[in-house]
Amino acid sequence: MKGIVSGIKRNAVHDGDGLRTTVFFKGCPLRCIWCHNPESIGFRREIGFYADKCMSCGTCTTVCADGAVRMRDDLPVTDPTRCRACFDCTAMCPGDARIGYGEVWEAAALAEKLAQDKAFFDNSGGGVTLSGGECLAQPVFARELAERLLEKGISVNVDTCGYAAKSVFEQMLPLTDTFLYDLKAIDREVHIRCTGKENDCILENLRYLTDSGAKIEIRYPYVPGWNDGECEKIGAFLAGLSVKHRIKVLGYHGLADGKYKALGLPDTLPAIEVTADDVGKAVRILHNFGLQAVNGMKDD
């Protein structure tokens, strides 16, 4: 089974227990205004052009067999109607100004690559985390990759926004050690405003996983002006589940603005700054509901 990933990050320490390798699947059903992985939003291969790294050497124009790249004002300009995202230009760019996002993998081959770090996983109690984008938007690939990793004795975590069919979670449940589950808002209209999608299935899937005994860590991305008013509602919802999950409040940052420009995407990132003290206010509210809440900007 083939799938498409936007990147692989080794030695990750915030995606579950121990040292982990995080696989960022390409494609996501949500369009969060604060998304810091815009290269993982679309499901197709694409090229990011980082103009500040460009050496104006013109190498990309000479290696493009389709003639999709031309120099203009000492910078390469790509014709999207001609570009096939073959990544020939990215491979030859001497300044790494052109980055290809969207490598196609066979599940078996990717599992073999990830298993090269098994000694580090074993020594640290870590493993592999499937992330994105939304890894469960490629459910068959995610399931086969998880199965192959488990066959090799490697722990699998799933980092998910929860927007998937219940049947997908039913299939992934026995293959997953921990679900890192995003909870962005309880109010349906707020969720639509922030992500472009309703949250009915997200809440139902969280109830299902909880009642099924899954190990879950809740992730609450805290974005003032957008979903900070949801804190008490999130606290009440989580307190009403059959298990009170640990919740990590993540402070928003706008450090991905360069990626939006490189990909030619509208920059939707809010022009705000969030401090650890801001996140601490949300943590204290969640504590009032008897929840084990931690500050993602200063606590593990």
Residue at a domain's end among 59, 81, 101: 101
Whole-number Å distance between alpha carbons of 124 and 111: 19
Confidence at 162, pLDDT banded by 50, 70, 90: very high
**Band of the pLDDT at 242, cuts 50, 70, 90?**
very high
**Is 300 part of a structural domain of the chain?**
no
pLDDT at 298: 86
Boundary-marking domain end, from 62, 80, 101: 101
> How far is residue 35 from each of residues 32, 124, 195, measured CA to CA in Å?
5, 30, 9
Provide the domain limits for residue 256: 2-43+105-295
Q: Are 214 and 68 part of one and the same domain?
A: no
Token pair listed for 265: 């995407």
Same-domain pairing of 22 and 56 = no
Whether residue 85 is contained in a domain is answered as: yes
N-term to C-term CA, the chain? 35
Q: Are residues 18 and 97 in the same domain?
A: no
Domain count, the chain: 2
Q: Are residues 268 and 172 in the same domain?
A: yes
pLDDT, residue 300, reads 57
- Per-residue pLDDT of 274-288, as tens digits, reads 999 999 999 999 999
Query: Do 81 and 159 sit in the same domain of this protein?
Result: no
Say whether both 197 and 84 belong to one domain: no
Q: Is residue 130 part of a domain?
A: yes
> Do residue 247 and residue 290 come from a single domain?
yes
Considering the entire predicted model, what is its pTM?
Answer: 0.95
Q: Quick check: 209 and 216 in contact, CB under 8 A?
A: yes
Antiparallel, parallel or unpaired: β 2-12 and 20-25: antiparallel
Instruction: Give domain status of residue 28, yes or no.
Output: yes
Same domain for 170 and 141: yes
Place of tokens 């990909």: 263
Three-class SS of the chain: CEEEEEEEEEEECCCCCCCEEEEEECCCCCCCCCCCCHHHCCCCCEEEECHHHCCCCCHHHHHCCCCCEEEECCEEEECCCCCCCCCHHHHHCCCCCEEEECEEEEHHHHHHHHHHHHHHHHHHCCEEEEECCCHHHCHHHHHHHHHHHHHCCCEEEEEECCCCCHHHHHHHHHHCCEEEEECCCCCHHHHHHHHCCCCHHHHHHHHHHHHCCCCEEEEEEECCCCCHHHHHHHHHHHHCCCCCCEEEEEECCCCCHHHHHHHCCCCCCCCCCCCHHHHHHHHHHHHCCCCCEEECCCCC
Mean pLDDT of 36-58: 97
Same domain flag for 95 and 240: no
**159 and 209 fall within a common domain:** yes
CATH of the domain at 93: 3.30.70.20
Domain boundary among the residues 84, 101, 118 is at 101
Per the domain annotation, does 280 fall within a domain?
yes
Looking at the fold, whether 192 and 178 belong to one and the same domain comes out as yes
State yes or no: pLDDT of 2 exceeds 70: yes
| pLDDT tens by residue, 174-204 | 999 999 999 999 999 999 999 999 999 999 9
| CATH number for the domain that contains residue 263 | 3.20.20.70
Q: How do residues 77-116 score in pLDDT, each as one tens digit?
A: 999 999 999 999 999 999 999 999 999 999 999 999 999 9
Residue 38 shares a structural domain with residue 65: no
Domain assignment present for residue 128? The answer is yes
Residue 55 lies in a domain: yes
Torsion from C-alpha of 188, 203, 257, 89, nearest 10 degrees? -120
Structure tokens at 81: 């109607």
Question: Would 265 be classed as within a structural domain?
Answer: yes
Distance CA 198, CA 187 (A): 9
